[in-house]
Structure 1
Amino acid sequence: MNSALSAFDLARIQFAFTVSFHIVFPALSIGLASFIAVLEWRWLKTGKAYYKDLCLFWSKIFAVAFGMGVVSGVVMSYQFGTNWSGFSSFAGPITGPLLMYEVMTAFFLEAGFLGIMLFGWQRVSPRAHFGATLMVAIGTLISTFWILASNSWMQTPQGFEVVNGHVVPLDWFKIIFNPSFPYRLAHMALAAFIVAGLVVSAVGAWHLLRARRDPAVKKMFSMALWLLLILTPIQAFVGDQHGLNTREYQPAKIAAIEGLWDTEKGGTALNLFGIPDMQEETTRYAVSIPHLGSLILTHSWDGEIRGLKEFPPQDRPNSTVVFWSFRIMAGLGMLMILLSATAWALRRRERLFESKWFLRFAVAMGPTGFISLLAGWVTTEAGRQPWVVYGVMRTAQAVSPLTTQQVSVSLMTFVVVYFLVFGTGVYYMLKLMRSGPALPGNRPHNSPHGTPHDAPERLPNPAARRPLASADHMIDAV
């Protein structure tokens, strides 16, 4: 049996690699943009200068994340024409306009106001600057709307017909607001805010562990944990509703996620642990709880869930992959709820900023938002296979007629360049996070009340023209 990877397999690996690098940066920038807008609103309302210090600090990190997100997104989109020309030819009349709407409404809005947000502190009034920050935050959310509309249509397509091998849009309202769209949009938007909340809380905890007790550090730590306390239970509820929707429109995906092969009458057990075997059509070493699968996935004691054996072998997702990717996402989600609930308990005891074990826990939880995000996208995308447009076009039909050598060379090039460029960017963001917000003693022109016209010591370079130029630390600085 030949175990060598085909050009099709390599093209899938390449797209998975580039999209995985890409998604972490927009997720962080979406959450940070709204967080920065809230900080600036609080600065204008209260006049407390540490809110502006936090704005400037997180704006630098946002600028790096935004820049890397734009670059990685452009590279990823080119693959629709290089590696996946079959998909572009077939579904382009729908996915092309949706991506164009994202550029025209969201990207132009972000690009138009980003320069004012990053470099306009001394050029426009405080209220005008806040308006620009708000527009950038709104732009990131509009971008989320259109990207999720396109992806959701591929998951639950409707509002079209196929004519001469191409999809023809018939009803744009049905295309955009397809059955899975509201759940995917809410799930992704909440995930972005949770990702940013975990990063902010981890940075705050890191500086608290190093004996910084100034208001800026305490405030960002406290705000992030309040956000997580509110959003993590909501995310669990949205995830539950998303699961119900997936069971209705993509039942094979649910069966693969649960490692369920046979349809169980009178109630379905939940496999907590196991190793699905696609060849033997069984889940080895399964640890199950009777009826719990029915309770979670149908909200009834004896609800029936279709097993994978009811679907043709060629239509089954890889249960081994999505079984574990889903459990990584869900398990980390439970830890996030535990983190926020523990913070609430410590807050009531006035120990939030003093409990070292909890601060270490918060630091360790910092990257888990990204891990959970990637695991969730693996679940939703691998669980859609073998379809690129669910039930309409198979992934094997979407690939370009390329040779294994051609895709291998491009994949190796991507791996080397991505780890070099984006690895450097991540390293730089970590150095910015380590520097922390400005110390109160380093803020000249402070009035006793910290009016909105106070200026920190280091404002962004007013002559700069690029987002990354707002992060003014040397990358090799100690």
Structure 2
Amino acid sequence: MSSFFPDALLLARFQFAFTVAFHIIFPAFSIGVASYLAVLEGLWLLTKRQVYMDLFKYWVKIFAIAFGMGVVSGLVMSYQFGTNWSVFSDKAGPVVGPLMAYEVLSAFFLEAGFLGVMLFGTTKVGPRLHYVATLAVAIGTFFSAFWILAVNSWMQTPQGFSINEVGQFVPESWLAIIFTPSFPYRLVHMLIAAYLTTALVVGAVGAWHLLRDHDNVGARTMFSMAMWMLVIVGPIQVLAGDAHGLNTLEHQPVKIMAMEGHYESHPDGAPLYLFGLPDQQAGELKYALGIPHLGSLILKHDLNAPMEGLDTVPRELWPPVPVVFWSFRVMVGLGFLMVGLGAWALLSRLFGKLYSQPLLLRTALLMGPAGFIAVVAGWITTEVGRQPYTVYGHLLTADSASPVAAPALAASLIAFVLIYFAVFAAGTFYMLRLMGHAPQTDEPEPSPAVPKRAAGLMPGPAEGPSNLSR
């Protein structure tokens, strides 16, 4: 019967890839929105301009939905460590387990503890105390990213451990485990990606409403703030990505070879391949279009610096080059489009036409999902480029999987696909509905759905839904 199904290892990898691709877009968005909410409320406290509080109430409802979907999608991934990757959990658990527990204790509890105050306490606690709650949620999202990326960075560039007699990774230095060589670069790169993702969504929502009403104060304010974020943070992300690439070249050179499509070595300087068709079987980049020596200049700051290729690496240690090659180009291409959009918006602002150029507004609207696509593409580049290892250089992916039969994995994968598309499509549709109504003066704050009818206090369904759904 198993002959009708793909390889069990491939199914386990695809199942984890599918769930993590769904999961990562929600934390990336909620990290950025939490910081945006803190900025909005801080500006309101400083200036007392009502538009900032109106935008806070507008976006906090959207944040609540994104946060909830991020929590639900993350729970499934935790179970997969035990069901599909039990060998990895057994061997790497002494290192990975405590780090993930720290994420729950220091991040999730902080977020969950203050989330209710942030959502429903605008009129129930003082403005300064409420701002403390908003800051606590924003800081909690940062700590969540900190610990999860510490886990991933250790798997990418492991250090601070020894291997005992039964093959388990045993911690020797927690500081070394947490602060691996790739961790600072990965953390900065991911946080900026989250801020850019949020800026693009906020900009797209602002553009959508400006196309309908150029004078909407809330839409003008959110669009202006989003474009400032692109102008400032977009170029910083390019520099952070370059630094991250140099770090990867030092510690994971095979990943760089796959990203650049360097099947062959270049002793006199490597080109920068813009496009091409990687042929894994033949070990060559067909129809390559590249700029001579530019790859060496970018990666080693020397036009003629030699660059090793995959021909120096045993074929069984090659990552899937076509996947890494194209996902990297999707990420970089979208990154430069973000920088271009920010530059366009800056020029329009200087000429006093930021809110009155339909082409700019439509472009910003089309770029709304670009951050999510770039985040997923970057995650694919990072994770697939690490193959064939789960713990780079120490534990192969093929040796990490549980002894689960392919039919069982196929059945659970199909169930995940159906449930995820149903549940998260509904949640996304609900968020889009919230974004679809224009920001207004005296925006209603979210309110919990209290079952007043049971107490004889609810007059009936004509009263309408809670403010959270308006």
Distance 1:386 1:135 in 2: 39
Change (3 A) 1:207 1:312: same
Which residue pairs with 2:455 in the alignment? none
Distance 1:112 1:64 in 2: 17
Distance 1:233 1:3 in 2: 49
By how many angstroms is 1:121 displaced? 1.1
1:57–1:436: 8 Å Cα contact kept in structure 2?
Answer: no
Report matched runs for 1:52-451 at 5 Å.
52-163=53-164, 164-438=166-440, 440=441, 443=442
Distance 2:56 2:91 in 1: 45
1:42–1:51: 8 Å Cα contact kept in structure 2?
Answer: yes
The Cα offsets for residues 59-116 of structure 1, whole Å up to 9 and x where unpaired, read as: 0000000000000001111100011001000000011000001111011110110000
2:5–2:407: 8 Å Cα contact kept in structure 1?
Answer: no
By how many angstroms is 1:214 displaced? 2.3
Distance 2:250 2:437 in 1: 49
3-12 or 205-214: bigger deviation: 3-12
The Cα offsets for residues 283-302 of structure 1, whole Å up to 9 and x where unpaired, read as: 00001111000011111111
The Cα offsets for residues 197-243 of structure 1, whole Å up to 9 and x where unpaired, read as: 00000000000001242221111110111011111100000100111
Which residue pairs with 1:452 in the alignment? none
The Cα offsets for residues 267-311 of structure 1, whole Å up to 9 and x where unpaired, read as: 111111101111101100001111000011111111222100111
User: TM-score normalized by structure 2?
Assistant: 0.95
By how many angstroms is 1:250 displaced? 0.7
Which residue pairs with 2:27 in the alignment? 26
Percent same amino acid at aligned positions? Answer: 56
Distance 2:15 2:158 in 1: 25
1:199–1:367: 8 Å Cα contact kept in structure 2?
Answer: yes
By how many angstroms is 1:462 displaced? 5.2
The Cα offsets for residues 353-408 of structure 1, whole Å up to 9 and x where unpaired, read as: 00000000000000000001100000000000000000000001111000011101
Counterpart AA for 1:460: P
| Contiguous gaps of at least 5 residues in structure 1 | 444-455
Distance 1:470 1:275 in 2: 53
| Aligned equivalent of 2:469, options 463, 468, 473 | 473
By how many angstroms is 1:436 displaced? 2.7
Aligned residues: 454
2:210–2:216: 8 Å Cα contact kept in structure 1?
Answer: no
Distance 1:343 1:269 in 2: 33
- Indicate the SS of the match to 1:472: helix
- Indicate the SS of the match to 2:415: helix
By how many angstroms is 1:459 displaced? 2.5
User: TM-score normalized by structure 1?
Assistant: 0.93
By how many angstroms is 1:471 displaced? 6.4
Distance 2:159 2:76 in 1: 28
Distance 2:43 2:109 in 1: 27
By how many angstroms is 1:470 displaced? 7.9
Which residue pairs with 1:453 in the alignment? none
Computed over aligned residues only, the root mean square deviation of the Cα atoms, in angstroms, reads 1.4
- Indicate the SS of the match to 1:276: strand
1:63–1:470: 8 Å Cα contact kept in structure 2?
Answer: no
Which residue pairs with 1:46 in the alignment? 47
- Indicate the SS of the match to 1:272: strand
1:118–1:470: 8 Å Cα contact kept in structure 2?
Answer: no
Change (3 A) 1:254 1:471: farther
Q: Is 1:461–2:430 an aligned residue pair?
A: no
By how many angstroms is 1:464 displaced? 5.6
| Contiguous gaps of at least 5 residues in structure 2 | 452-464
Change (3 A) 1:259 1:133: same
- Indicate the SS of the match to 1:18: helix
